[in-house]
Structure 1
C-alpha cells in the first residue's frame, strides 16, 4: 500500500504533466492566431495603384479563386522542392502552395494544380481533366472510379484493378502526381484557346510550349479610368519551386502593363506577345 506522501508525489507529477500539456496547447493556439494574423491573400496584399480599381468577377469563378489565394507571410523567400532557397529571387510574394519533395511541380504543373484545386474545392470533379504528352485525356473522375493509366513508352491505356476509389484527398493527390509526371507545357497548350490580350482575365496564361518551355498565369487584374489594364503574374519554374507573384519593370510593379511590343519580357522568360491563351471553360 502506497504511503500518503507517495500518492501525493504521483498526483503532483500528473498535475505537472497536465500543466505542461495545457501550456503547450495555449502556445500552439497563440502561434496559429499570429500566423493567421499575418496570413493574407493576393487581394489583401496588393492594393490597386492610385487611379486604378480592381475588377470584380463572379464569386465562384476561377478568377475570384485566384485573387483570393492565400500568400505566405510578407518577406518569404521562394523555396525549391528540396528545401533550398531559390537563387534568383524575382518575386513580390509567395503563394501558400505546398510542394512535393520531388522535382515534379514545375511551371505548367503549378498552373494545372491551381485549376484542379479550384474545381476540387467546388466538388466539380467532372471538370478535372488534363491531357498528357501523348494527347490522351486523363479525367480525375475515372481515378475516382478506381481506374488508373498504364503508360508504356508513348502509349497509354486505362486499366482496372484493386486501386483506391473515391474523391478523397489521397486519390486526388495520386491523380495530380500522375499529371505532373506525364503532362507539361506542350500538353497544356494543346487544350487552351488563343485569346486577344484585350480580353485578358485572371486565369489566362502566356505559354511557350517546348522542352523546356514556360508558362505564367494571370492571377489578378485592375483597370484605370482611361481603360488601362494592369495585372499580376504568378509562376513556378525549374527546378520545382513554390509559386510566386513576379515583379515587373513597370512603374506600377509588381503590376504588369499590357505589352505593346511583339515580345513580352518577364523576369525569367521572354514570351512572344501573341502566345496568350485561356482555358476553354
Structure 2
C-alpha cells in the first residue's frame, strides 16, 4: 500500500461562507439559506445546466456538446492482438467507453487549481469537472459516474448510494426531504445538489458495504470496482476490457480520482509501461496501481 490517504476530515462539509457553521445549529437556519447554500455548492462542483448533445448515442449531462472522436474508445486503442469485448447497447459499460477525454495529456489538477504532486500516475484525463471544494475524491468520482449514467438514462428510481441515512440515500428520497419551498423536481440541477450531499456523507467504507463481491477476476466486467473500504481506503473503476482472440487473455483499464479531490483520470500501468494503460487480468495476488495496491478479493460490483 502506498500514499495512504486519510479519512475525510469532517463527515459534515460546510457549504457556507466562513461566517456560517454546518453543525447541529444548522436546523435553526431558515430554509431560504439552505436553498441558497445548495445552489452555490452545486455551482462550484458542476458545470452550468447543459444542453443535451444532439445525435449522441450516450448522453453525458455535464457537457453542452459531445463528440465521439473525444471518447475513450476512440482515443485509446487496445493492445496489439486484442479486441474490445462486446457490450450491450445503452449499458453502463458502453457509457464508460464513451467518456470524453481532454485533448492530449494535460496535467491533473486538484480542486483548488494546484497541480497534483504525482503527475506520473495518469495516462489521460476525463473531461469532467472536480469542483472547487475537496469533495469529489476516489469513491465519490465512481458514484458520480454511476449517478450520471443512471440520470442520463432516466433511471431516477435507481439513483441511490449508501449515505447512512436510509430516508435520503436515494435521489427520490432526498427530494422528498427537501425543505419547504425548495424544488422537488428530478431535474439535473437537483441531481447535482443530491450528489454533493452524497459526497459529504459517503466514502469507500459505506460504498464497499453496498457493493457485491465478484467471485473471481475471470468474471470481471466493465463497471466493476477494485475497492478497499476504510479509513483510509481507495477505489478504482474498471472502464474497459479487451480480449486476445487466440489466447483468451484479457486486459483492462482503470480510472480514478484521489485525495485531495482532483481531475478523474485513466491510470498508467506502473508494472508494464509497454502495455500501459492496460493491465493484465492475470496479475497475480496483488494489483499494483500508481497510488494503491489491491488484492484480487477486492473486486466488487454495483
Q: TM-score range by the shorter chain?
A: 0.7 to 0.9
From 17, 23, 43, the equivalent of 2:73 is 43
Q: In structure 2, what is the Cα distance between the partners aligned to 1:162 and 1:223?
A: 53
CA contact (8 A) 2:130 2:264 kept: no
Tell me, in whole angstroms, the C-alpha distance in 1 between the residues paired with 2:171 and 2:160.
6
Q: Residue by residue, what CA displacement relative to the aligned partner does 1:245-278 show, whole Å, maximum 9, x if unpaired?
A: 0010223111001144222111000112211101
Other structure's SS at 2:134 match: coil
1:141 Cα deviation after fit? 1.3
Q: 2:148 aligns with which of 113, 117, 120?
A: 117
Partner Cα distance (2:89, 2:72) in 1: 15
Match of 1:261 in 2: 284
Report whether the alignment pairs 1:53 with 2:83: yes
Q: In structure 2, do the counterparts of structure 1 residues 106 and 200 end up closer, same or farther at CA, with 3 Å as the change threshold?
A: same
Counterpart of 1:221?
241
For residues 179 and 82 of structure 1, the distance between their equivalents in structure 2, rounded to whole angstroms, comes to 20
Task: Determine if contact 1:38/1:73 at 8 Å carries over to the other structure.
Answer: no
Kindly indicate which of the two structures has a greater share of residues assigned to helix: 1
2:251 is matched with: 230
Q: RMSD of the TM alignment (CA)?
A: 1.9
Q: TM-score, normalised by structure 1?
A: 0.79
Matched, 1:275 2:290: no
Q: How many residues are treated as equivalent by the alignment?
A: 233
1:75 aligns to what? 105
How far did 1:167 drift? 1.4
- Residue number in structure 1 paired with 2:193: 174
**Matched residue, 1:86:** 116
Measured after TM superposition, the shift of residue 236 of structure 1 is 0.2
In the TM superposition, residue 162 of structure 1 has moved relative to its aligned partner by: 2.8
Separation in 1, partners of 2:131, 2:210: 25
Q: Which runs of 5+ in 1 are unaligned?
A: 1-34, 149-159
Aligned twin of 2:174:
143
- Give the structure with the larger strand fraction: 1
Change (3 A) 1:219 1:86: same
* Structure 2: 5+ residue stretches without partners: 1-64
Specify the alignment match of 1:64 in structure 2.
Answer: 94
Q: Secondary structure at the match of 1:70?
A: coil
Larger Rg: 1
Distance 1:260 1:48, change over 3 A: closer
| 1:247 lines up with 2:268 in the alignment | yes
